[in-house]
A and B are shown apart, each in its own frame.
Chain A
């Protein structure tokens, strides 16, 4: 979308007054790689991450109702994967969120992950600031279905909820390093199904091996609504963990760096040369970095 910056500032102005059309267009402006002038002050963000099919979208649908009852305006940025083959995507998270299509105080935007590493586009931060400035007081980021090492969300959300489900294998799975160590809040979904209680026990046993572990493991049913109120109160009382600033900033930095590389205008040429063996990976990196620094990317 070829919008001038001044037009974008007009969009921001009317979005702040509550115009949804402008808000939506502003999101597209940011998604297209543009950066509006934002205040970038405080913004309340929660990342929701976990394996595919664990119930992230359905849980968000439930949580939205609780926050609405508390008087919040809730925005959701819902990520789904982009096909590495066709470049297309099928975005269907909002199907699971009942309130998404009716209420004035709910805004759901589906986002294709694109070619971005870690499944999170680096413009997500700008989107959150823009939403916050437009009066959205609870901003949720739903990641694509993730694995143990997918921690990029920490670069974009102040607090992160890890959602797991029943039948995730034995306790050893919970011993492994990764997302479980970093998540601020942990929940097991599908309490309506067998195996969810034992998943909670497994996670508790694992967490109990560490000293100073204060995190509890919530058991919820996004389908039936059980346990959601307790989960919300834990999320609300969760303080932003400043000791993890370096980890967060590291993820933000990598995300932006990757984006520079992936948006390099000659990237296909470099890939072809790498495939034909005419340059090495190191050659490619060195010359791409030089081009990025000289601004001639």
Chain B
């Protein structure tokens, strides 16, 4: 699948994003990396121009509860409701429910084996093939973790 791995906001730590990008590449996916410090508008633009199916957002600075909702909202109004969004980095457990309610399908924290993310993507693929809703603008009922 075509996957954009993005670093929103001012957070300058991308070791995690690069580890994930590498693992997805080794899992046979085409991974587009945005580089650091992207605005929500830029991220949505990249997802559109690259026609990505999946967007992974990496944030470690605590700005997830401000930036991720903005990105999700902009995806929805940009005819990108089918895009599957997952998040990773430093995201406290208490914030997960809000992200799931937005339609974010998985949140991966420190210590996650990269194989978990690949399994999540396999599940996404099979759900998409079965016509089930997994996009950011679709029924947020299902999430991976």
Q: Are A28 and B21 in contact (CB under 8 A)?
A: no
The residues of A that contact B26 with a CB separation of less than 8 Å are 83, 85-86, 88
* Cα of A88 to Cα of B118 in the assembled complex, Å: 13
| Chain B CB within 8 A of A13 CB | no
Q: Are A90 and B33 in contact (CB under 8 A)?
A: yes
How would residues 33 to 64 of chain B score, 1 for a CB under 8 Å from any chain A CB and 0 otherwise? 11100100110011011110000000000000
| Chain B CB within 8 A of A281 CB | no
The residues of B that contact A21 with a CB separation of less than 8 Å are 48, 78-80
Instruction: Give chain B nearest CB distance to A16 CB in angstroms.
Output: 17
Instruction: Give chain B nearest CB distance to A81 CB in angstroms.
Output: 10
B: interface residue count bin: 20 to 34
A: interface residue count bin: 20 to 34
**B 61-99 contacts with A by CB, 8 A:** 78-80
The residues of A that contact B28 with a CB separation of less than 8 Å are 86-88
Q: Are A90 and B50 in contact (CB under 8 A)?
A: no
The residues of B that contact A94 with a CB separation of less than 8 Å are 32, 34-35, 46
Q: Are A27 and B33 in contact (CB under 8 A)?
A: no
How would residues 23 to 35 of chain A score, 1 for a CB under 8 Å from any chain B CB and 0 otherwise? 0110110000000
The residues of A that contact B48 with a CB separation of less than 8 Å are 20-21, 24
Q: A-side binding surface: helix, strand, loop or mixed?
A: mixed
Select one of B24, B38, B49, B80 contacting A107, CB under 8 A. Answer: B49
| Chain A CB within 8 A of B25 CB | yes
Q: Are B27 and A88 in contact (CB under 8 A)?
A: yes
Q: A28-B51, A101-B42, A109-B49 are in contact. Are A86 and B35 (CB under 8 A)?
A: no
Q: Are B38 and A88 in contact (CB under 8 A)?
A: no
Instruction: Give chain B nearest CB distance to A78 CB in angstroms.
Output: 10
How would residues 1 to 34 of chain B score, 1 for a CB under 8 Å from any chain A CB and 0 otherwise? 0000000000000000000011011111111111
Q: Are B21 and A90 in contact (CB under 8 A)?
A: yes
Q: List 13 other contacts, CB 8 Å, given A20-B48, A89-B31.
A: A21-B80, A86-B25, A88-B28, A88-B30, A88-B31, A90-B33, A92-B32, A92-B35, A95-B33, A95-B35, A101-B42, A101-B46, A109-B49
Give 22 CB contacts A-B under 8 Å: A21-B79, A24-B50, A27-B51, A83-B25, A83-B26, A86-B28, A87-B28, A88-B24, A88-B27, A88-B30, A89-B30, A91-B32, A91-B33, A94-B32, A95-B35, A101-B38, A101-B45, A101-B46, A102-B42, A107-B49, A109-B49, A110-B50
